[in-house]
Chain A
Amino acid sequence: METMTAKTSTLGRLRRFALSESILLLLLLMFGGAALFAPGFLSLFNIKNLLLQSVDIMVVSVGMTFVLLNGGIDFSCVAVLALGSVFGAWTMADSPLAHTPMAIPAGILVMVGIGLLVGAINGLSVVVLKMPSFIATLATMMVGSGVAVWFASLVAEKASIIGLPESFFILGGDQGILLPVAIVLVLALLAHWLLSTTLFGRWVYAVGTNPRAAFVSGMPVKRTVFLLMVLSGVFAGIQSVLATARNQAGIPSLGDRVFIDIVASIIIGGTSVFGGSGSVIKTVYGVLFITLLNNVVNLLGIEWYVISLIKGILVLTAAFIDVFSKRVDLVQR
């Protein structure tokens, strides 16, 4: 009897593990499939590629997870990528600080500062002006993208800014992937720690689940929402640093097309579009999954439009299941 109970409980634990870590298991399945079928997949060159390519959207996705946990969205993160890229590149290549020892620190400061500024504007718009994050960040995205293109065309003869210091490219993996991967890992762990162990983390989930109840319970709802938007902006600013170093240029169109990958990673990872549930670790798995998908599709020579199709279906279905499960929850209550 005891053996049966032990077996049942082991099976139960395994089942619970399989369900709670399904995205991780899927990742492993995809990896195994790719190793079997995709030519060149297991080469050291490609494994390095995969890690670097996951860096390309990891930080911004982790930042955006904070906003999604609150049931919001941050469209402006892509504009922060572009804005940071052109202003930071200009600081390093063409400003009075260019070619001085201060060029790189100043450039990085500018990029992260732009993220902070845009995040603060978004936060104030949502908290003080009571604008939905959808509208507030859409507006900052449009303004930001426009400013990025305008500024680049003003300072660079050929729109994108080149001539950045060679040593800056280390952050993009030019001399090995360790540094960018380590930066991303530290940031993801920091975000995970913030959400899972601090009081702020508990506020985030509580406000995301039910802001009114959180307010009645005495939680600082406005401050939490403001900080979420700022964090998302800062993380996008840091992503801008890494992406600019990786592409070795300040690009005004940087981030134009990555929004779908960012959102897809978070939602496929398991963060609810309604807020209140999800985690940074799941987003990390989601990013790895999307990166792996992009990589494998290329390696297999599958037609290019298939990837869009797959991502679109994944996001739509994940969102549908999210909506459906919320309805079931409501009915069961």
Chain B
Amino acid sequence: MKRHGISMMVFALVGVLISLVPNAARAADKKMKIGVSMDSLEAAFWLANEKAMKAEAAKLGVEYVLVIAEGDANKQNQQVENLIAQGAKAIVIAPKDGAAIMAAVKKAKSAGVPVVMNNRPVQGDTKPDLQILSDNYTMAKQALQWFVDKAKAQKKSYNALLLIGNLGDENAIERKKGHTEVINANKDIIKVVAEVPSEWKHEVALAGMQNAFQAHPEIDLIITPSDFLFPPIQTVLTQLGRWKKIGEPGHVAIVSFDGDENGMKHMRDGYDWVDAAQAADKTGQLCIDWAVKLAKGEKPPDPVMRDPGVIVTVDNLKKVGPTIWGWGSGN
């Protein structure tokens, strides 16, 4: 009964699977196929980045094949293998883990498939054909330095909570490095009383921040490596009655990174002091452009392209804000 039941169920699912096969996949493939492997699609940055890639692929008339690793480095390597197997002419990868992806990059290169790294670099000796990255270290440093200079001018000092991303992600490491360097050089202005690892997960960040505020109610500055973490920041500060605008009593200052919709909104609303904005959409667009060019045999002028980013502050918000991808309609 059991085995029979399972077999019936799986037969049905196989039927559903086959019916889900897109027409494009059934028909003989005529268009150039570009594979895109993403770590996950949770953060606004990656959603905007992926949307831009898809739009660029449509504009260039290439077939766009997306796979998502759901935060699993090993699965991402498998998916890249599958993209090679189905005949992708170039692959764009936003890796979960810069070290673990090396094996997949090697495999693609030995199969003659060019690889473009999207926003996150590869570690180790095997280099992809092109890496389009943000200058995370410099941007994090510049944003926090701006805040320190502002605090110095206002003769203020802060007790900070330093949020950390996933340490398997090179970007998180570089941002932490940039933040830490400014903090160490300005210990009279910023004293870190709590470090909270987030693993790029809202629930982990929320629990960590709640504990940190419990232990250190004197915290009056949060340094976050991504605007993605704004929802738990807002939750914890609201719970404490400290979700206050700049200048209001009990205000907790925020220094952030990304320039996504959350970040821009909180800057417009007066909660966030400074946001180091990356070019999510432009990076995505460039990744597809270059994937197609590489597939056609073109070589990039430089194997690493760096987005210098834009530091959006409360002072330049009106002028610079509308140029940022996360600004949206400005509502």
Contacts and interface: CB of A to CB of B under 8 A. Distances in A.
A45 B85 contact: yes
Given A268-B6, A300-B22, A314-B9, A254 B78 contact: no
Interface in A148-176: 149, 152-153, 157-163, 172
B151 interface: no
Nearest to B26: A37
Interface of B: 1-7, 9-11, 13-14, 16-18, 20-22, 24-26, 29, 65-68, 70-75, 77-79, 81-87, 96-100, 102-103, 106, 111, 123-124, 166-168, 170, 173
A325 interface: yes
A105 interface: no
The residue in B17, B78, B85 that gathers the most chain A C-beta atoms within 10 A of its C-beta is: B85
B2 A270 contact: yes
Q: How large is the interface on A (under 10, 10 to 19, 20 to 34, 35 or more residues)?
A: 35 or more
B17 A43 contact: no
10 contacts: A25-B7, A26-B14, A38-B25, A40-B87, A46-B82, A56-B74, A158-B170, A248-B124, A302-B21, A317-B5
Given A29-B11, A29-B14, A310-B13, A249 B20 contact: no
Contacts of B14: 26, 29-30, 33
Interface of A: 19-20, 22-23, 25-26, 29-30, 33, 37-41, 43, 45-46, 49, 52-53, 56, 149, 152-153, 157-163, 172, 243, 246-249, 251-258, 268, 270, 272, 289, 293-302, 304, 306, 308, 310, 313-314, 317-318, 321-322, 324-325, 328
A266 to B, nearest CB: 12
Contact of B99 (A249, A268, A272): A249
B227 to A, nearest CB: 22
Nearest to A47: B85
Contacts of B73: 247, 251, 253-254
Given A49-B78, A257-B75, A314-B13, 6 more contacts: A23-B6, A37-B18, A46-B82, A246-B77, A300-B17, A301-B66
B102 A317 contact: no
Contact of B79 (A40, A158, A243, A298): A298
Nearest to B85: A46
Given A45-B85, A295-B82, A39 B29 contact: yes
Contacts of B67: 298, 304
SS class, residues of chain A in contact with chain B: helix
B74 A246 contact: yes
B197 to A, nearest CB: 8
Nearest to B29: A39
A218 to B, nearest CB: 30
B17 A158 contact: no
A52 B103 CA distance: 13
